[in-house]
Amino acid sequence: MRITARVDYAVRAALELAAVAPHPLTSERIATAQGIPSRFLQAILGDLQHARLVTSQRGRDGGYRLALPPSEISIARVMRVEQGFLAEVHGQRPENLEYPGSATSLASVWVAARESYRRVLDEVTLADVVAGKLPGHVAELVELEGAWRSFGDTGSAG
Protein backbone atom coordinates (compact mmCIF):
# COMPACT_ATOMS: atom_id res chain seq x y z
CA MET A 1 0.00 0.00 0.00
CA ARG A 2 1.34 3.42 -0.93
CA ILE A 3 -0.29 6.67 0.17
CA THR A 4 1.11 9.79 -1.51
CA ALA A 5 1.78 12.97 0.45
CA ARG A 6 -1.02 14.67 -1.47
CA VAL A 7 -3.57 12.00 -0.45
CA ASP A 8 -2.35 12.05 3.16
CA TYR A 9 -2.63 15.85 3.26
CA ALA A 10 -6.12 15.79 1.73
CA VAL A 11 -7.40 13.31 4.31
CA ARG A 12 -5.77 15.24 7.16
CA ALA A 13 -7.26 18.53 5.95
CA ALA A 14 -10.70 16.91 5.72
CA LEU A 15 -10.29 15.51 9.24
CA GLU A 16 -9.36 18.96 10.55
CA LEU A 17 -12.55 20.35 9.00
CA ALA A 18 -14.56 17.42 10.38
CA ALA A 19 -13.30 18.12 13.88
CA VAL A 20 -14.89 21.59 13.89
CA ALA A 21 -17.88 20.93 11.60
CA PRO A 22 -20.00 22.82 10.72
CA HIS A 23 -17.77 25.80 11.55
CA PRO A 24 -15.29 27.12 8.97
CA LEU A 25 -11.51 27.05 9.24
CA THR A 26 -9.03 29.17 7.34
CA SER A 27 -6.46 27.40 5.22
CA GLU A 28 -3.78 28.86 7.49
CA ARG A 29 -5.30 27.19 10.56
CA ILE A 30 -5.56 23.86 8.74
CA ALA A 31 -1.98 24.13 7.46
CA THR A 32 -0.63 24.99 10.91
CA ALA A 33 -2.65 22.33 12.74
CA GLN A 34 -1.61 19.56 10.37
CA GLY A 35 1.84 20.74 9.27
CA ILE A 36 0.80 20.92 5.61
CA PRO A 37 2.66 23.31 3.28
CA SER A 38 0.29 26.20 2.62
CA ARG A 39 0.60 26.25 -1.20
CA PHE A 40 0.06 22.51 -1.36
CA LEU A 41 -2.99 22.82 0.89
CA GLN A 42 -4.54 25.53 -1.32
CA ALA A 43 -4.43 23.18 -4.32
CA ILE A 44 -5.88 20.31 -2.27
CA LEU A 45 -8.71 22.46 -0.91
CA GLY A 46 -9.45 23.51 -4.49
CA ASP A 47 -9.66 19.84 -5.51
CA LEU A 48 -11.96 19.05 -2.57
CA GLN A 49 -14.12 22.04 -3.48
CA HIS A 50 -14.32 20.94 -7.11
CA ALA A 51 -15.41 17.49 -5.88
CA ARG A 52 -18.10 19.18 -3.75
CA LEU A 53 -16.74 17.84 -0.49
CA VAL A 54 -15.69 21.28 0.77
CA THR A 55 -17.20 24.74 0.45
CA SER A 56 -15.59 28.10 1.08
CA GLN A 57 -16.83 31.44 2.24
CA ARG A 58 -15.04 34.77 1.99
CA GLY A 59 -15.03 37.46 4.61
CA ARG A 60 -14.15 37.92 8.24
CA ASP A 61 -15.98 34.78 9.35
CA GLY A 62 -15.03 32.88 6.23
CA GLY A 63 -12.99 29.83 5.59
CA TYR A 64 -13.48 26.26 4.48
CA ARG A 65 -16.01 23.78 5.76
CA LEU A 66 -17.22 20.34 4.78
CA ALA A 67 -20.11 20.33 2.33
CA LEU A 68 -21.56 17.21 3.97
CA PRO A 69 -21.68 15.89 7.52
CA PRO A 70 -18.42 14.11 8.48
CA SER A 71 -20.40 10.89 8.96
CA GLU A 72 -21.24 10.91 5.24
CA ILE A 73 -17.68 11.29 3.92
CA SER A 74 -15.54 8.17 3.79
CA ILE A 75 -11.77 8.22 3.79
CA ALA A 76 -11.90 6.57 0.33
CA ARG A 77 -14.04 9.38 -1.04
CA VAL A 78 -11.42 11.95 -0.07
CA MET A 79 -8.62 9.75 -1.40
CA ARG A 80 -10.33 9.33 -4.76
CA VAL A 81 -10.37 13.11 -5.24
CA GLU A 82 -6.58 13.12 -5.27
CA GLN A 83 -5.69 9.77 -6.81
CA GLY A 84 -8.68 8.54 -8.78
CA PHE A 85 -9.22 4.81 -8.42
CA LEU A 86 -8.11 3.17 -5.20
CA ALA A 87 -6.36 0.37 -7.07
CA GLU A 88 -4.71 0.47 -10.47
CA VAL A 89 -2.16 -1.69 -12.21
CA HIS A 90 -0.17 0.19 -14.84
CA GLY A 91 -2.98 2.75 -15.01
CA GLN A 92 -5.70 0.15 -15.57
CA ARG A 93 -8.43 -1.13 -13.30
CA PRO A 94 -7.67 -4.68 -12.13
CA GLU A 95 -10.89 -6.15 -13.59
CA ASN A 96 -9.78 -5.07 -17.06
CA LEU A 97 -6.50 -6.97 -16.95
CA GLU A 98 -5.69 -10.24 -18.65
CA TYR A 99 -2.49 -12.13 -17.99
CA PRO A 100 -1.02 -15.02 -19.97
CA GLY A 101 0.13 -18.43 -18.80
CA SER A 102 0.99 -18.96 -15.17
CA ALA A 103 -0.19 -15.42 -14.28
CA THR A 104 -3.75 -15.98 -15.56
CA SER A 105 -5.26 -15.70 -12.06
CA LEU A 106 -3.26 -12.64 -11.03
CA ALA A 107 -6.06 -10.20 -11.94
CA SER A 108 -8.23 -12.00 -9.36
CA VAL A 109 -5.60 -11.33 -6.71
CA TRP A 110 -5.58 -7.61 -7.59
CA VAL A 111 -9.41 -7.47 -7.49
CA ALA A 112 -9.45 -9.19 -4.09
CA ALA A 113 -6.80 -6.82 -2.74
CA ARG A 114 -8.82 -3.84 -3.97
CA GLU A 115 -11.96 -5.18 -2.30
CA SER A 116 -10.09 -5.59 0.98
CA TYR A 117 -8.84 -2.01 0.69
CA ARG A 118 -12.39 -0.80 -0.01
CA ARG A 119 -13.79 -2.64 3.02
CA VAL A 120 -11.68 -0.40 5.19
CA LEU A 121 -11.47 2.90 3.34
CA ASP A 122 -15.06 3.07 2.05
CA GLU A 123 -16.49 2.17 5.45
CA VAL A 124 -14.43 4.44 7.71
CA THR A 125 -15.77 8.00 7.78
CA LEU A 126 -14.20 11.25 8.82
CA ALA A 127 -16.49 11.20 11.87
CA ASP A 128 -15.17 7.74 12.86
CA VAL A 129 -11.55 8.90 12.78
CA VAL A 130 -12.22 12.18 14.60
CA ALA A 131 -14.12 10.27 17.30
CA GLY A 132 -11.35 7.67 17.51
CA LYS A 133 -13.95 4.93 17.10
CA LEU A 134 -13.38 2.72 14.07
CA PRO A 135 -16.03 0.29 12.81
CA GLY A 136 -15.73 -3.10 14.52
CA HIS A 137 -14.24 -5.04 11.61
CA VAL A 138 -11.62 -2.31 11.06
CA ALA A 139 -10.73 -2.14 14.76
CA GLU A 140 -10.25 -5.93 14.69
CA LEU A 141 -7.77 -5.62 11.83
CA VAL A 142 -5.74 -3.06 13.77
CA GLU A 143 -5.49 -5.51 16.70
CA LEU A 144 -4.26 -8.47 14.64
CA GLU A 145 -0.83 -9.76 15.56
CA GLY A 146 1.64 -8.20 13.17
CA ALA A 147 -0.71 -5.44 11.94
CA TRP A 148 1.70 -2.72 13.07
CA ARG A 149 4.80 -4.38 11.57
CA SER A 150 6.04 -4.07 8.02
CA PHE A 151 6.95 -7.18 6.11
CA GLY A 152 10.40 -8.24 7.20
CA ASP A 153 10.36 -6.29 10.47
CA THR A 154 11.72 -8.09 13.49
CA GLY A 155 9.51 -6.33 15.98
CA SER A 156 9.77 -2.59 15.39
CA ALA A 157 6.65 -0.64 14.41
CA GLY A 158 6.50 0.62 10.88
89-123 pLDDT tens trace: 888 888 888 899 999 999 999 999 889 989 999 99
The reported pLDDT for the residue numbered 155 is: 52
Specify whether the CB–CB gap between 87 and 79 falls below 8 A: no
Specify whether the CB–CB gap between 77 and 53 falls below 8 A: yes
Mean pLDDT of 20-26: 94
In percent, how much of the chain has pLDDT > 70?
A: 94
The reported pLDDT for the residue numbered 154 is: 53
119-147 pLDDT tens trace: 999 999 999 999 999 999 999 999 998 88
Q: Measured between alpha carbons, how far is 158 from 150 in angstroms, rounded to an integer? A: 6
pTM for this model (two decimals): 0.86
Q: How many CA atoms lie within 13 A of 88 on its CB side?
A: 8
